[in-house]
Amino acid sequence: MTDQQQKPIVIIGATGKTGRRVASGLAARNIPLRAAARSTTPAFDWTQPDQWDQVLAGAGSAYITYHPDLALPQAEEAIRQLVDCARRQQVNHLVLLSGRGEEGAQRAEQVIIDSGLSWNVVRASWFMQNFSESFMAEGIMNGELILPAGDVREPFTDADDIAAVAIAALTRPELRNRVFEVTGPELLTFADCVAEISRQSGRPVRYTQVPLADWLQALQQQGASRDLLWLLNELFSNVLDGRNASTAQGVRDALGRDATSFADYVSRTLAAEIWPQACHA
C-alpha cells in the first residue's frame, strides 16, 4: 500500500444514504477512513467552513455529499470553498456525488473538475431508497403515497449501486478523472414504483397525484424548511420534466455489472423489513 493509500478517506456526509454505505464498504475492506458529519468529532457542517481543515487534515481523498442537495444556489460556492480547503490540506482526490439533470449540480461538478486535483463525479438519478429511507417512506407504510409527480418516467437508482461506484472511484486509480452517470436499468413512473411495492408486499399501496402548490403548502404547514421547500419545488417542477427519461451505463462502466432493478430493490427491502407495516400485513 502506498503512502497516499494509507492516508484515510474522508466521508463527508457519513450518516447519509450513500455516505454510510460508502463508509461501511471501505471499512469492510480495511481501508482507513474518517467519517465526517455534524455528529462526528471533528464535526463537519456545511455552514461552518472554519471546521473543515481539521476534518481534511492528513487525508488522501474525500467522498463529498452536499446536504440537502447540490441544486441549491449556495452549493456551488460551498464546493469551491471545500476545494480550496482540500488543496491546503494536500488532499489528492475528490469524489463528488451529484444529481442528474440539475443545473446547480452541474456548476458544482465543474468546480471539482477544474480544481487541479484528481476527481470523479458520480452523477445519480432519483434514489430508490427515497421510498424506504426518506420522505416517501411514511406514505408507503401508510398505504398511500401522495406526490406532485405525473407520468414522467425516471431511471430510479439503488443507493447501494451508487456507493459501490463511489468506492470504486475512491480506490481504483485507473477510474480517476471521469464522470460516472449512474441510473437504474429501466424507466418507471412513481405510480409504477408504488404498484411494484404493492405487488410484492401483497398489501394495497396506492399512488395519488396532487398539485405541486398544494403539496408544498402542506409541507410548509408541517414545518419544512425554506431550503427543503425550494429544493422540492425545483425537483418536481423542473428536474422531473422528462429530461432524465433515459438510462445510463455508469454502473457497468465502473463495476462491470448491470445496475440493480427496482423489483430487486423492493424484494431486498421487504426481506430486511424496512417497511414493517407492509411486511406484516
**Nearest 10 degrees: CA dihedral of 63, 33, 167, 25?**
-130
> Average of pLDDT values for 215-227?
94
25 in a domain, yes or no? yes
Torsion, CA 168, CA 174, CA 178, CA 184, rounded to 10: -40
Number of domains in the chain: 1
The answer as to whether 77 is a domain residue is: yes
Residue 35 lies in a domain: yes
Q: Residue 94: phi, psi to the nearest 5?
A: -120, 135
pLDDT of 164-190, one tens digit each? 999 999 999 999 999 999 999 999 999
Q: Which of 220, 218, 262, 215 has its CA nearest to residue 236?
A: 215
Residue 4 in this model has a pLDDT that exceeds 70: no
Q: DSSP letters along 197-224, please? A: HHHHHTS--EEEE--HHHHHHHHHHTT-
Sign (positive or negative) of CA dihedral 140, 142, 147, 149: positive
- Is pLDDT of 155 > 70? yes
CATH of the domain at 87: 3.40.50.720
Where do we find the cell 462526528? 40
pTM for the whole structure: 0.95
Residue 5: what pLDDT?
Answer: 56
Q: Is residue 87 part of a domain?
A: yes
From the list 209, 218, 164, the residue with the least C-alpha distance to 191 is 209
Q: Is residue 59 part of a domain?
A: yes
- pLDDT over 70, % of the chain: 96
- Classify residue 168: in a domain, yes or no: yes
Contact 30, 63 (CB under 8 A): no
Q: How far is CA 144 from CA 148, 203, 276, in A?
A: 13, 11, 15
State which residues form the domain around 249. 3-127+156-185+245-260
Does any domain span residue 96? yes
Instruction: Kindly tell me if the per-residue pLDDT of 107 is higher than 90.
Output: yes
Task: Quote the CA–CA distance of 214 and 201 in Å, as a whole number.
Answer: 30
Whether 213 is in a domain gets the answer: no
Instruction: Say what the pLDDT of residue 281 is.
Output: 38
- Using the CB atoms, write b or e for 11-38: b if 16+ within 10 Å: bbbbbbbbbbbbbebbeeeebebbbbbe
